[in-house]
């Protein structure tokens, strides 16, 4: 193994990969889909919390404060039913239905004030917190009292399943798998097949470069690309959180699994058509854990059947639930076992590749 | 420089491609390995360039058994394959620069090598725009990049026009003059005849004959001279006559033909390498 030659070969991979349409497509596609989903389902360019208000009468001074508020988008509705409908559709993240005489009752401070709040089940926590604090402040100002003496009783009606995830959250596991598996697998496999088809691999191995150096350069390239892709997807989904070292460890292991798998596929595929056929056939199995996550009602154990679950789940646990090493230890251990098995297969494949190269040259 | 004793190679499927061949190549020699397709010459070359492992016999290259060499072998050995194998998206200079960076010893400047084979004006052209001949020339000079002691050239003039073919042959001769040893596989006997110091004929995995082209021509040719002439002036049809080379100056019949008739052609009848190959193996080179 020669580090300098591996570095040179990686530079060549970057140079050639940058001009390869399929490589660019594979790397850019998960990012584009993520951005599209964020755009379509409202997470992108719609960061301002949305509040709908129905005022049964006399609450203008209160609602005006909210309409003038620079940090929330407030819309007035003509009926409670229209407000409820808007929240149900997700047009508004929260709706406030004010009874007649609301502001007078609030200002008098002598009687209990009841009003209803509708909350969209898919609304993000961040926006709900912003809305709640804004409403609280406005109510306090209106009542002229401190927080501990708030003369308000709120009846909150949850609309939709409380556990409902946003589409971005549901699709994040799939995007992560796409980014890590495609980024890690595609580059080594496609590059290896092309090198064999164009016979440049045999040209390289008749220099002081060993076949191991070539394989290592491709594996590292896949590992780095999948890591970059995973970080981009997590950042785009505002999920690059949790313990950084753990997150990077899981990304690295997932990338290693994908790139080693890619190198194996690149070695055993006769040509690009065969590789594409294999990808089409096994692709669904690779993405299955991500697809299953779109449907929260599907039992978790089904995902565990698929190897990519063990890179997806710890990533989600660390980034979304703040899990520590102990919580993800089992998944990481399974991931390590899968990688070890793939490395054993790879060493056998490299041994056979030398003979195959001689036959093909 | 290179010694092969009782070399055999059997492919995993059971095909015995090389069957106990022996030869040696001296330093500064151009050794031609000639034979038809499937004769075993490519397999022999693949063993010698360490692509095929698991051979039987004893091979010593550059003073060391072949199976004791590691990848540093290629610091001293240059290989040019029969078919071009370059990175098509890179330019000629980028291809050579990439391969140059993989060697640790002294190397040629790619610009000089490109100039050597007339590719200097295409140095910054992507290989995908090169003709096969241009790619072959680049293939050839890539093997020279690291100034190797031993060169393995597989059909180096295939696909080249006569002018470039001649240029490559001159460079091969110049490499020999610089002290390099060249192992050349070919099925084109003319090229071998022109540049090889010795040739080996291989057929069905066995070497049938090894000698210099000149010795082979002399041993297998007829010591006769063939004359084509017009007996009654240029308008008459050409006639042929053959005379023994020995005592030719005293052969009155030959002298009479020369003196009294317009001569069209006159040739000694030494055999070509192809004739000798057919004669000794009973096979053609196709």
Do B27 and B144 belong to one domain?
Answer: yes
Q: Measured between beta carbons, which residues in chain A are less than 8 angstroms from residue B81?
A: 199, 202-203, 361
Identify which of A200, A207, A354 has the shortest CB distance to residue B102. A207
A203/B85 touch (CB, cutoff 8 Å), yes or no: yes
Give the pLDDT of residue A41.
66
| Out of A43-47, B74-78, B178-182, least confident range | A43-47
Do A84 and A153 belong to one domain?
Answer: yes
A154: containing domain: 50-159
CA distance A44 to A123: 13
pLDDT above 70 as % of chain B: 99
pLDDT tens per residue, range B171-229:
999 999 999 999 999 877 888 888 999 999 898 899 988 999 888 888 877 788 999 99
Domain final position from A159, A184, A213: A159
Average pLDDT of the residues in A294-321: 86
pLDDT tens per residue, range A110-135:
677 788 889 887 777 667 777 787 77
Helix and strand tally (H, E) in chain A?
15, 5
Do B107 and B188 belong to one domain?
Answer: yes
Average pLDDT of the residues in A132-154: 63
B87/A361 touch (CB, cutoff 8 Å), yes or no: no
Do A253 and A217 belong to one domain?
Answer: yes
pLDDT tens per residue, range A206-225:
999 989 899 999 999 999 98
Domain final position from A104, A128, A159: A159
In this prediction, residue A235 has a pLDDT band, given cuts at 50, 70 and 90, of: confident
A209 min Cα distance to partner chain B (Å): 7
In this prediction, residue A158 has a pLDDT band, given cuts at 50, 70 and 90, of: low
Residue A1 touches chain B, beta carbons under 8 Å: no
State the best of A19, A200, A202, A214 to mutate against chain B, taking most chain B CBs within 10 Å. A200
A207/B88 touch (CB, cutoff 8 Å), yes or no: no
Give the pLDDT of residue A45.
47
CATH of the domain at A130: 3.40.1710.10
Q: Which residues contact A146 (CB under 8 A, 6 or more apart)?
A: A140
Query: Between A3-17 and A183-197, two packed helices, what is the crossing angle to 10 degrees?
Result: 90
Give the pLDDT of residue A146.
46
Burial of B110 (0-12, 13-18, 19+ CB in 10 A): buried
In this prediction, residue A170 has a pLDDT band, given cuts at 50, 70 and 90, of: confident
Domain final position from B154, B182, B217: B217
Residue A16 touches chain B, beta carbons under 8 Å: yes
Do A171 and A22 belong to one domain?
Answer: yes
Do B82 and B21 belong to one domain?
Answer: yes
B131: containing domain: 2-217
Q: Measured between beta carbons, which residues in chain A are less than 8 angstroms from residue B135?
A: none
Identify which of B46, B52, B74 has the shortest CB distance to residue A207. B74
In this prediction, residue A147 has a pLDDT band, given cuts at 50, 70 and 90, of: very low
Average pLDDT of the residues in B1-16: 90
Do B202 and B105 belong to one domain?
Answer: yes
Tokens 């089992």 found at: A330
Do B213 and B71 belong to one domain?
Answer: yes
Give the pLDDT of residue B285.
64
Q: What residues does A305 pair with on adjacent strands?
A: none
Q: Measured between beta carbons, which residues in chain B are less than 8 angstroms from residue A211?
A: none
In this prediction, residue A166 has a pLDDT band, given cuts at 50, 70 and 90, of: low
Average pLDDT of the residues in A260-287: 89
Q: Measured between beta carbons, which residues in chain A are less than 8 angstroms from residue B98?
A: 8, 12
Q: Is the pLDDT of residue A317 over 60?
A: yes
For A16, the closest chain B residue by CA position comes to B89
Residue B69 touches chain A, beta carbons under 8 Å: no
Helix (H, G, I), strand (E, B) or coil at A165: coil
Q: Is the pLDDT of residue A201 over 70?
A: yes
Q: Measured between beta carbons, which residues in chain B are less than 8 angstroms from residue A357?
A: 51
Do B162 and B226 belong to one domain?
Answer: no
Do A26 and A125 belong to one domain?
Answer: no
Identify which of B52, B75, B142 has the shortest CB distance to residue A208. B75
Q: Is the pLDDT of residue B281 over 90?
A: no
Average pLDDT, chain A: 83
- Chain B neighbours among A 195-214 (CB < 8 Å)? 198-200, 202-210
Write the DSSP string, B169-230. Answer: HHHHHHHHHTT-EEEEEES-HHHHHHH-SEEEEEETTEEEEEE-HHHHHHHHS-SEEEEEEE
B51 min Cα distance to partner chain A (Å): 5
Do B11 and B122 belong to one domain?
Answer: yes
Identify which of A202, A204, A210 has the shortest CB distance to residue B51. A202
CA distance A148 to A146: 5
Helix (H, G, I), strand (E, B) or coil at A288: helix
Give the pLDDT of residue B75.
94
Give the pLDDT of residue A154.
57
Domain final position from B191, B217, B243: B217
Q: What is the ipTM of this complex?
A: 0.84
Average pLDDT of the residues in B41-67: 91
Do B160 and B241 belong to one domain?
Answer: no
Domain final position from A110, A138, A159: A159
Give the pLDDT of residue A91.
86
Give the pLDDT of residue A43.
55
Do A210 and A354 belong to one domain?
Answer: yes
Give the pLDDT of residue A179.
86
| Out of A42-56, A223-237, B74-88, B235-249, least confident range | A42-56
Q: Is the pLDDT of residue B109 over 60?
A: yes
Do A350 and A218 belong to one domain?
Answer: yes
Residue B100 in any domain: the answer is yes
> Rounded to an integer, what is the distance from CA B279 to the centroid of its chain?
20
Average pLDDT of the residues in B88-114: 94
pLDDT tens per residue, range B223-259:
889 999 988 777 777 889 989 888 888 999 999 888 8
Give the pLDDT of residue A143.
59
CA distance A41 to A169: 11
pLDDT above 90 as % of chain A: 25
* Higher per-residue pLDDT: A108 or A234: A234
Q: Is the pLDDT of residue A152 over 80?
A: no
Do B156 and B226 belong to one domain?
Answer: no
Q: Which residues contact A272 (CB under 8 A, 6 or more apart)?
A: A190, A193, A194, A197
CATH of the domain at B95: 3.40.50.300
Pair of tokens at residue A231: 């970080």
For A11, the closest chain B residue by CA position comes to B98
Between the alpha carbon of residue A184 and those of residues A253, A263, A310, the distances in Å are: 11, 9, 15
DSSP-derived secondary structure letter, A148: G
Q: Measured between beta carbons, which residues in chain A are less than 8 angstroms from residue B90?
A: 15-16
């Amino acid at each position: 193994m020669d580090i300098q030659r591996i570095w040179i070969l990686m530079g060549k991979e970057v140079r050639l990969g940058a001009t390869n349409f399929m490589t660019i497509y594979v790397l850019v596609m998960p990012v584009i889909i993520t951005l599209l989903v964020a755009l379509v389902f409202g997470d992108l360019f719609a960061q301002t919390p949305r509040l709908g208000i129905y005022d049964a009468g006399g609450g203008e001074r209160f609602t005006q404060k909210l309409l003038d508020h620079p940090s929330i988008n407030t819309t007035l509705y003509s009926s409670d039913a229209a407000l409820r409908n808007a929240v149900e559709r997700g047009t508004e993240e929260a709706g406030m239905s004010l009874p007649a005489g609301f502001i007078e009752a609030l200002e008098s401070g002598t009687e209990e004030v009841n009003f209803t709040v509708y909350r969209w089940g898919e609304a993000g926590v961040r926006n709900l917190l912003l809305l709640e604090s804004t409403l609280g402040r406005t109510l306090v100002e209106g009542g002229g009292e401190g927080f501990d003496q708030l003369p308000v009783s709120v009846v909150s009606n949850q609309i939709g399943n409380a556990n409902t995830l946003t589409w971005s959250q549901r699709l994040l596991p799939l995007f992560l798998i796409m980014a890590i598996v495609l980024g890690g697998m595609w580059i080594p496999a496609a590059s290896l097949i092309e090198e064999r088809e164009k016979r440049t691999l045999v040209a390289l191995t008749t220099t002081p470069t060993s076949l191991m150096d070539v394989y290592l350069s491709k594996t590292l390239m896949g590992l780095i690309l999948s890591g970059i892709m995973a970080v981009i997807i997590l950042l785009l989904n505002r999920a690059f959180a949790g313990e950084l070292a753990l997150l990077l460890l899981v990304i690295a292991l997932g990338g290693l699994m994908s790139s080693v798998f890619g190198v194996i596929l690149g070695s055993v595929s006769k040509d690009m058509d065969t590789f594409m056929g294999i990808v089409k056939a096994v692709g669904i199995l690779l993405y299955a854990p991500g697809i299953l996550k779109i449907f929260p009602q599907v039992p978790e154990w089904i995902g565990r059947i698929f190897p990519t679950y063990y890179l997806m789940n710890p990533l989600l646990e660390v980034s979304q639930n703040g899990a520590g090493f102990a919580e993800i230890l089992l998944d990481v251990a399974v991931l390590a076992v899968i990688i070890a098995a793939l490395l054993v297969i790879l060493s056998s494949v490299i041994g056979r590749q030398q003979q195959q190269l001689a036959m093909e040259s | 420089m290179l010694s092969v004793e009782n070399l055999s190679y059997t492919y995993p499927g059971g095909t015995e491609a090389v069957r106990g061949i022996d030869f040696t190549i001296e330093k500064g020699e151009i050794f031609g390995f000639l034979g038809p397709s499937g004769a075993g010459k490519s397999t022999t070359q693949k063993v010698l360039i360490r692509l095929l492992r698991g051979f039987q016999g004893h091979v010593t290259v550059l003073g060391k058994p072949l199976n004791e060499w590691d990848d540093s072998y290629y610091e001293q050995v240059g290989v040019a394959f029969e078919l071009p194998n370059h990175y098509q998206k890179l330019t000629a200079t980028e291809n050579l620069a990439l391969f140059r960076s993989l060697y640790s010893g002294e190397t040629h400047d790619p610009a000089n090598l490109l100039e050597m084979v007339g590719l200097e004006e295409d140095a910054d052209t992507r290989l995908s725009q090169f003709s096969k001949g241009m790619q072959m020339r680049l293939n050839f000079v890539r093997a020279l990049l690291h100034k190797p002691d031993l060169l393995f050239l597989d059909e180096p003039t295939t696909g080249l026009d006569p002018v470039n073919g001649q240029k490559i042959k001159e460079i091969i001769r110049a490499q020999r003059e610089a002290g390099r040893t060249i192992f050349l596989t070919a099925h084109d006997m003319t090229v071998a005849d022109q540049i090889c110091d010795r040739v080996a004929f291989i057929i069905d995995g066995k070497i049938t004959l090894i000698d210099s082209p000149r010795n082979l021509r002399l041993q297998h040719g007829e010591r006769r001279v063939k004359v084509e002439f017009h007996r009654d002036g240029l308008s008459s049809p050409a006639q042929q006559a053959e005379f023994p080379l020995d005592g030719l100056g005293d052969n009155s019949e030959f002298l009479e033909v020369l003196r009294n008739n317009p001569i069209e052609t006159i040739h000694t009848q030494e055999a070509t390498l192809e004739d000798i190959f057919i004669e000794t193996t009973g096979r053609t080179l196709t």
